[in-house]
Amino acid sequence: MRDVANKYYRGATDMVLVHIDPAALASPLKWEPPAHIDGSPSLPDEPLFPHIYGVINLDAVSQVTDFPSNPNGSFDLPIQLTAFSITHVKHVPHLHQQAAEMSRVAWKLDFPEDTTQTYLDMFNVSGTYAGRFVEVFAAINQANELLGLATLVDDDGLPGATEPGPWLAAVFVVPEARKLGVGSALIDHVVNRSRELGYAEMFLYTDHQQQWYEKRGWTYTRDTLLNDIKHVVMRNAI
């Protein structure tokens, strides 16, 4: 929202932020990449934005926040949207539908057969597996909005993997929160949780964020393919 405001509404003095509960919307909500003015297709690494296809019913609006511009006309996020906490996804059931749709779109290239229900089912059993485990964590701002997700799982579905696990998986941050340290905080939370469970190492795989993870202490282990897309497996000694 900040980047969009600075690009298209710089200098505006009558802006507000409307907080919308996705579960209460009467119109369809889709997480999609931005449209290109020249008509060119979206790129794999482009951020996803929520697009509402239809009228926004007023009972879906949960809050309205003033969004004043700075003296130079630029915009910064209000403090209530930059402060956040991390919690187990089971504590925010009202955000499950949104989180599931975001996850489906974010990981459709790696797991094309997954549906929104796939992720809803995972959220519902998070922390309750017998004999194995998956735990999903959510970053939530002070307005109770979803900023990002990360998962700790014993098996992240990488074909032919010999690493013992556990795995850091499905790290996702909404576009407007990507400069707030949300991703790093989610990763630290999952690593600490893995340490609490008694593990001395953990793993992940990524197709384009190797350098980002290296800056956070992860090391390259090997190359691999997932759905014919090159990935690297990385390790973190806890």
- At residue 39, the pLDDT reads 79
Q: Kindly give the residue spans of alpha helices, DSSP state H, lying in the chain.
A: 2-8, 79-82, 96-106, 116-125, 182-196, 210-214
Residue 71 sits in a domain whose CATH number is 3.40.630.30
pLDDT in tens, the chain (238 residues): 777 888 889 999 989 999 888 888 999 988 887 777 787 877 766 667 788 999 999 999 988 888 999 999 998 877 767 789 999 999 999 999 999 999 998 898 889 999 999 999 999 999 887 777 899 999 999 888 899 999 999 999 899 999 999 999 999 998 878 888 899 999 999 999 999 999 999 999 999 999 999 999 999 999 999 989 999 999 999 7
- CB 111, CB 105: distance < 8 Å: no
> Hey, what are 11's tokens?
């200098």
- At residue 3, the pLDDT reads 79
Q: Which of 167, 134, 169 is nearest to 150 (CA)?
A: 169
- At residue 113, the pLDDT reads 93
**Structural domain harbouring 36:** 2-237
Please count the structural domains in the chain.
1
- At residue 63, the pLDDT reads 82
Taking the model in full, what pTM does it have?
0.73
- At residue 72, the pLDDT reads 93
- At residue 45, the pLDDT reads 63
